[in-house]
Amino acid sequence: MKILIAGGDGFCGWPTALYLSQKGHEVVIIDSLIRRQWDNELHSNSLTPISSLNERVSRWHELTGRTLKTYIGDLTHYDFLRIVLEETQPDTFVHFAEQRSAPYSMIDREHAVFTQSNNVIGTLNVLYGLKEIAPDCHLIKLGTMGEYGTPNIDIEEGYLTIRHNNREDILPYPKQPGSMYHLSKVHDSHNIMFACQAWGLRATDLNQGVVYGLHTGETMMDPVLINRLDYDAVFGTVLNRFLIQAAIGHDLTIYGAGGQTRGFINIIDTVRCIEIATINPAHPGDFRVFNQFTEEFSVLDLAEKVKNVATEEGINAVIRHLPNPRTEKEEHYYRANNTKLRDLGLEPHLLNQQVLRAILHTVNRYKDRAHLRNVLPAVSWK
């Protein structure tokens, strides 16, 4: 298949591009490289030393003989996107290319406006571009489990059967997102659903949980192919942060009580989920939603798991409860369905001591690159 990967220089997009290329698909990357600029803005960095996109794709070609074509540009620039779609005529458009940090979106008004315009306009352009140039192309859009929030009932995969005044309907699951970033994903979902209904586009919204790990089989083939790994309080996600905090001798930073429960997924399963959605496309007019996570954990569970593995490695990791910089429930019911990807063949890589230890060993190798000043949260929701 011919697969366009927007956001193909990012944490999820780069390993996905390699994996699908290795599987024999024709992969084309779009990226504005803006994620690398946000590191400069925040005076932060990837814990792992990442090569330029050019170096990455050249090394991939040297190692495998496979070509990854790249377009450097912004999805919010429609003229650019049109050219890419016309030249590529993709079968599948995988859309990772958004500002994905909740804290970044909550820095101030400018960052909220930027996040929502980058994400919502980029996705709108993709929808109009597909309608105009590639109406049969399957859009695979990365959404987030955070669109649902933490309701006091089970979370379904996108839709909920509702009985009201003796009538019944299947309606989009209620959304209660917890940041300006998470809100942008909800807006995207509504726009995509409308485009499928109105124009007959086909789309899969992958409501992904928090991703952990960094390596896949392909990114480990050569140091130049290594994936990025965020540890700072703006872009680092909780489990990777705890492992890095343990390695650098920092306390494990639980925000508030630590009962916040989320869905989690290993990056190895992220790339496989994209493959599964690609080879089992939605039908024309369909807006499918899959919940893309494999296990649920509370933040406190994760801190304890990391502490135990650290202890075995001779590290004394201290768990510390900080005042929560976010507005979120710290103790709540959480149970979400996630059977659709498994029904299509996903065999989850679950979190265990061995997985944690392997990430910790990688992190140890690069721990001197961490800037301590970036570890504690400085962005408040209030």
Task: Catalogue the active-site residues.
Answer: 144, 181, 185
Task: List the one residue from 94, 192, 238, 271 that touches ligand USQ (CB under 6 A).
Answer: 238
Q: Should residue 210 be labelled a site residue for ligand USQ when binding is judged by CB under 6 A?
A: yes
Residue 282 contacts ligand NAD per CB under 6 A: no
Binding mask 3-42 for ligand USQ (x = CB under 6 A): ----------------------------------------
Q: Does 255 bind ligand USQ (CB under 6 A)?
A: yes
| Tokens standing for residue 289 | 């939603």
Nearest distance, CB of residue 230 and ligand USQ, angstroms:
8
Residue of 46, 253, 270, 278 that binds ligand USQ (CB under 6 A): 253
34 binds ligand NAD (CB under 6 A): yes
Is 260 a residue that touches ligand USQ (CB under 6 A)? yes
Residue among 20 and 306 whose Cβ is closer to ligand USQ: 306
Determine if 232 is a binding residue for ligand NAD (CB under 6 A).
no
262 interacts with, out of ligand USQ, ligand NAD, none, CB within 5 to 8 A per kind: ligand USQ
Residue from 75, 201, 243, 254 that binds ligand NAD (CB under 6 A)?
75
Residue 263 interacts, among ligand USQ, ligand NAD, none and using kind-specific CB cut-offs from 5 to 8 Å, with ligand USQ
Among 57, 84, 139, 211, binds ligand NAD (CB under 6 A): 211
216 binds ligand NAD (CB under 6 A): no
Which residue number, 83 or 257, has a Cβ lying nearer to ligand USQ? Answer: 257
Instruction: Rank residues 94 and 238 by Cβ distance to ligand USQ and give the closer one.
Output: 238
